[in-house]
Amino acid sequence: MTRIQEKVKDIVEVRAHKSLRDFTADPADTVAGYFFTDGTSDLMAKWLDKVASVQPDAGVAFALAGYRGVGKSHFLATLGALVSHPELRSRVLDPHVAAGAHRLTRRHYPVTFVRRGLHETLFQEFTEAIEQSLGIDCAQFNGSVPEILKAACQKAGELPLVLLIDTAYERGSRVTRDDGPFLSELAEAGKLLNLFLGVALDDDIAGADGSNLGISRSFAIDYLDQEHLYKVVNTYVFPKHPQVQNALSDVYAYFRSVLPSFRWSEQRFSSLYPLHPVILEVAPFVRLYVHDFALLGFASTAAERILGRPSNSLIGLDEVFDSVEKALRGVPDLEEAFSAYDHLNSEVIGKIPILRRLQAKLILKALLLLSLDGQGTTADEISAAMLIFDEEEPGRAVGIVDDLIAKFAEQLPDDIQILAEDGRETRYGFKVSSKDSLNRALAEAVAQVPATVVPKVLRRLIQERFTDSTLSSGTDERRQDWMDSHVEWRGGHRRGRILVIEDDSENLQPHAASVGLQMDWEVLIDLKNEKGDAFAASPGVARVSWRPDDLRKEETETILKYFALNTHTELREEFSEQLRASLHSHAVRVGKIANRVFLEDGLLTIDGFDYNFTEEARASQTFVDLFSVMLEPMFETRYPEHPAFPRRLSMTEVGALISDLHNTSRQNLPEVQVLARDFALPMGLVGDQDGQLLPLSDEALVAVPAVSEVLQKVSAAPTGETVSLKEIYEYFRHEPRGYVREAQHLLLTALVAQRQIDFVTSKGDRINQRSLDLKIIWDDIVGIAKPTGPSFSAKKLAKWAVIITGDKNIKSLDNEAGLALLRSALEVWHVEWVKSRVLKRFNELPDDVLNARIWSLASRCAKTLGTTAEIIKGALDGGISLEECINRIADTFSDSEEQFERAKSELVVVESFIKGTPTRAQILSYLSGCEVTDADEIEEMREQLYQLVDGSYWNPSDASNRELGYLWIKFQRDFAEYFATRHDAVMRSHSLQASYHEILRSDDWWEFENLSKIEIFDPAPAAEIEGIRRQFAQLDCEFPVRDALQSRPFCKCKFGIARERQWQKLPETFAASLQTALRIYRETLFNEQPRITPHLEKIETDSSDKLAAAAATVMIDVLGKGEEIPRLSVVQLHVLQKAFGIALGRSLRNGAQFSSNEGIGIEVATEHPGEVVSA
């Protein structure tokens, strides 16, 4: 194998993961620690949307199912944190979830967490949570759940109450009771109130059968698949270095070559690397017994230890065993298993040759962990799980495992079970206490279960596996054998239908997909004993058959056991505690069975060819994702000419393009350009013009094949007749184009915008290019037809030519001379229009500087003069004749010269607004930071400026812009002089600086500076004084304030007009703060006297320095009498520093440790006599 000697760290980056035990303790940590994948992002957005849409009399109930350890509790707690803490919503980085959170009201939603497992009944836990969170005495309602919920919702106020129920993390053991009926009662009562109910389904209530059947009827159940953990690990815990992806493939190929039973796919192996894939399968069963086992935290920690190992090193089951062994040994059900484990470890493994002993210990650990599901394991599975192999002879390793387990069974036959059946590999396992009787009872119960339940269970597994499934499960009262769905292909939304057929199914022909339903595909899931299509597909619909693989004997048996465990109340009553673990293990196994039958070994038959499901398809969480992958080849073959959109084209995008792309005032906006690039460009409806994507000219548009075909149909229609829209839909739906309805609408509106066709409504009304800015109701449109419009006389056209160009020399358009004059005049008009860039400059303005009036004026100018400019450009480019150009312009203004003159006037107003925008922005920005003065003239000018800004904003004109500019120059000049004069009087004051330096030379300052270094004193006074010193440091400001005031109304320093008096009193403030600090320090000395005196006494008796001993004596005497402490000497200060250093184990705030020598050496600063410099 190549690259086998590369290290793990060369392939993967290991990121630290903080494991949270209590997800409700710190909401910020809960949100920050939740990693969103595609599946959980959609799920969280969906739940947030439901919270936002709850109405006072229309509550909702949602439940989240999934294996233990998959993240249900963290999901529920994250939901609670986001709805109850608005400030946390901005921290969510996932855009889908952030958009869902944005729909919530910007308020704190009331959230109540109910923690299961802390009391005997869920009712007790529910009422306790209500009382604690809302302060309601639930005893007054005599156990009435609806009344309690009603009172809780009323107490919550206008916002919906969010009630979240989850198993308590601090519970002592697994919850062993049937809470399904009570949860259903809560859900049904809550649906009549302003309530959102969310529940995490643990294994004791996860089964939607038997006593818990009501849950599936009362709750909308979402399934959190273990698949998302693969994505979390791959993306957030173990991201891979992309440049060494081939090395990872080599590692996988190596394991497959030496371990034939290494059954995991390369995709899953790569996602989890360096975590062995078996750990993700075992983790749920470990969580059954050790409920605080955190998979991600374990993986992150374990990976740190193997980074330096060769790349074919994995985190194995033995490391899981070592991390949870202590906790597992404390589980009563596992006492006998661990007793057997210890015996085998000492009596069997201890006698094995030392070279093979480690391997034997690995096998024993794996055997115990893989026995936790109650089903046991095989030698092949142990070999693959523990990476036990022989490169020279791969099959030999399995024999070693078999032989060793045989020795285990021979040593302890009553503790090691061996399950050998014909046609199946022998399974081994530790006998877990109390399970033998359950297995016997389960075998008896299975004998009474009819085989007809198997397809019902499979249907339910389909429903749980695919979150968008609306097919009925086997336990639903109302049977639903079909559902609508869609696939995303080339950005198109292709509708279809999924049907399930069983031996007892009704005739599904009436529910089949059809062209009339805008569907062109259907999938038939065949669960019949005899496979084969039951009815023919409708014309124009592609039939795809999904044929699950046949169930094996042991798989059928497992499904029957799973059904019995869920439905037989006798088993629940007799084996309450043991049943939970068995139910969970069977749930895992039937999940794997369904995955194998439907996805791993199931087949899709498309056009007579069988297809296996791809790895990407198998990982899908929805039918939409599954069939978007698997049906792609079929659509690629049938519709090769369908445009490839980079993202989904919906009617929202179509509507935006219709209203904005053909509007000259909006077509240059960034968001419109993005839509044009993603959707109009792939269809060939726009072209690049000066870096912008703009609609094609008439000549270029009709050259597009699809456009040409539409126009041919319109031209072929009899005069005055319309072409049915259904005919157009049907034509473009067929091969090789297969246009989705949205793409067809985009094509047709482009033709309407260019005056090539008109839409015709059911009432016979026409929709032309002038109506495209209005919302189009497509259901009202029945056809398309040739455009109709006024055709003006030659005399009127000549008149309009003069109106447009202003050239009175144009007398007629009937001769070449007149047309030449018109062309020249139009060229001049168009050059001036392009040069002025009025509409483009308007579009470049930010939205927050616009008002409704000016926006309306600009929009009208775009529709009139903007359209005029486009028409003139088309004529100058040769796309249309000059006569047609004038005709269209006259039609644009409804043959009204008054409208034309009004449009020109409105354009002048818009341009004045644009010119005044920078000045208004500069003035408002300056005034927002401009302090109030005591100069009346300046304040009067300020008020006038505000008035003129408003006038220029609402009624713009060149005159108002000029008046505003003159006053602005005068105000700025006068304010700058006023501010600079007061600034210089303070910030360049010599007297303030002299007062400051005088305080720094005082004895008080010297004493404070030395005392403040001792860590025992409160740092707040020193921090306050340091802040004052920083203010003093700004004195003698040399910044050119007058120059700076031309662009901003303040100086670089901290001076402000409002604080001028504070700056002048700064020396007094400094002196007062200094005295306060010294007083606080002396109070601290008295308060710490009992603590410090013993250390002073030690210095007094033990020090060889007489000055230090004498100073200690004085300090002991002063502190003991409680008298006022006089000013401290150099030696006294140093003695205090040493005493406090001994007491605290450290000394000065800079971290320096005091010497332990007896003598105290004193060094005095030469610049400041009396100051202690060092010991």
Label residue 1164 by pLDDT band (50, 70, 90): very low
Label residue 161 by pLDDT band (50, 70, 90): very high
Q: So what's the pLDDT on residue 402? A: 85
Examine the pLDDT at 185 and tell me if it is beyond 70: yes
Label residue 628 by pLDDT band (50, 70, 90): very high
Q: For residues 799 and 599, what is the distance between their CA atoms, to the nearest angstrom?
A: 75
Q: So what's the pLDDT on residue 1065? A: 79
Cβ atoms within 10 A of the Cβ of 437, count? 11
Q: So what's the pLDDT on residue 109? A: 93
User: By mean pLDDT, which of 45-59, 69-83, 686-700, 786-800 is the weakest?
Assistant: 786-800
Examine the pLDDT at 165 and tell me if it is beyond 90: yes
Give the alpha-carbon dihedral of 995, 1000, 1002, 1007, to 10 degrees. Answer: 150
pLDDT digits (tens, 9 = 90+) for 219-270: 888 888 777 788 888 888 888 887 777 888 889 888 888 888 888 888 888 8
Q: Which residue has the tokens 């969906």?
A: 46
3-state class (DSSP) for residue 182: helix
Examine the pLDDT at 160 and tell me if it is beyond 90: yes
User: By mean pLDDT, which of 327-341, 615-629, 1046-1060 is the weakest?
Assistant: 1046-1060
Nearest to 784, CA basis, from 776, 774, 793, 775:
776
Examine the pLDDT at 44 and tell me if it is beyond 90: yes
Cβ atoms within 10 A of the Cβ of 552, count? 14
Q: Which residue intervals of 783-896 are DSSP H helices?
A: 794-805, 816-836, 838-843, 852-861, 867-876, 882-892
Examine the pLDDT at 210 and tell me if it is beyond 50: no
Transcribe 601-663 into DSSP letters: S-EEEETTEEEEPPHHHHT-SSHHHHHHHHTHHHHHHH-TTS---SS---HHHHHHHHHHTT-
User: By mean pLDDT, which of 463-467, 638-642, 988-992, 1026-1030 is the weakest?
Assistant: 988-992
CA distances to 932, 945, 976 from 1044, rounded to whole Å, are 18, 21, 9
Examine the pLDDT at 104 and tell me if it is beyond 70: yes
For residue 829, report the phi and psi dihedrals to the nearest 5 degrees.
Answer: -60, -45
Structure tokens at 634: 């079929």
Q: So what's the pLDDT on residue 213? A: 58
The stretch 959-970 carries a mean pLDDT of 91
User: By mean pLDDT, which of 142-146, 187-191, 399-403, 486-490 is the weakest?
Assistant: 399-403
The stretch 337-357 carries a mean pLDDT of 86
CA distances to 71, 285, 288, 572, 677 from 301, rounded to whole Å, are 19, 20, 22, 39, 47
pLDDT digits (tens, 9 = 90+) for 283-298: 888 887 887 788 888 8
pLDDT digits (tens, 9 = 90+) for 529-547: 776 667 788 888 999 999 9
Q: So what's the pLDDT on residue 527? A: 85
Examine the pLDDT at 1147 and tell me if it is beyond 60: no
Q: So what's the pLDDT on residue 1083? A: 84
Averaged pLDDT score across all residues of the chain: 84
Is residue 415 within 8 Å of residue 386, measured between CB atoms? no
Q: Which residue has the tokens 């229009």?
A: 833
CA distances to 238, 293, 326, 369 from 323, rounded to whole Å, are 20, 9, 8, 12
Q: For residues 599 and 223, what is the distance between their CA atoms, to the nearest angstrom?
A: 18
The stretch 835-849 carries a mean pLDDT of 88
User: By mean pLDDT, which of 97-106, 616-625, 1024-1033 is the weakest?
Assistant: 1024-1033
Q: Which residue has the higher pLDDT, 948 or 881?
A: 948
Examine the pLDDT at 832 and tell me if it is beyond 90: yes
pLDDT digits (tens, 9 = 90+) for 1151-1163: 333 333 333 333 3
Judging by DSSP bridges, how do beta strands 519-526 and 542-547 pair with one another?
parallel
Label residue 21 by pLDDT band (50, 70, 90): confident
Q: Which residue has the higher pLDDT, 163 or 658?
A: 163
Give the alpha-carbon dihedral of 988, 989, 995, 998, to 10 degrees. Answer: 50
Is residue 427 within 8 Å of residue 442, measured between CB atoms? no
Is residue 308 within 8 Å of residue 11, measured between CB atoms? no
Q: Which residue has the higher pLDDT, 1045 or 437?
A: 1045
Q: So what's the pLDDT on residue 435? A: 58
CA angle at 551 for the pair 213 and 588, rounded to the nearest 5°: 50
Nearest to 31, CA basis, from 112, 104, 85:
85
Examine the pLDDT at 113 and tell me if it is beyond 90: yes
Examine the pLDDT at 158 and tell me if it is beyond 60: yes
HSE-up (13 A, CA, CB side) for residue 567 = 16
Give percent above pLDDT 90 in the chain.
24
Q: So what's the pLDDT on residue 1175? A: 33
SS3 content of the chain, % helix, strand, coil (to 5): 55, 10, 35
The stretch 976-982 carries a mean pLDDT of 85
Label residue 276 by pLDDT band (50, 70, 90): very high
Give percent above pLDDT 70 in the chain.
92
CA angle at 684 for the pair 682 and 686, rounded to the nearest 5°: 105
Label residue 999 by pLDDT band (50, 70, 90): confident
pLDDT digits (tens, 9 = 90+) for 749-801: 888 887 788 888 988 888 877 677 667 888 889 999 887 765 677 788 888 99
The stretch 864-880 carries a mean pLDDT of 87
Residues in the chain: 1175
The stretch 486-497 carries a mean pLDDT of 92
pLDDT digits (tens, 9 = 90+) for 1027-1071: 888 877 777 777 888 888 888 888 877 777 877 777 777 788 888
Contacts 24+ apart (CB under 8 A), 829-833: 829/804, 829/805, 829/872, 830/869, 830/872, 830/873, 830/876, 833/865, 833/869, 833/872
CATH architecture of the domain covering 27-225? 3-Layer(aba) Sandwich (3.40)
Examine the pLDDT at 965 and tell me if it is beyond 50: yes
Nearest to 282, CA basis, from 207, 365, 190:
365
Residue partners of 170: CB distance under 8 A and separation at least 6: 22, 118
Q: So what's the pLDDT on residue 114? A: 93
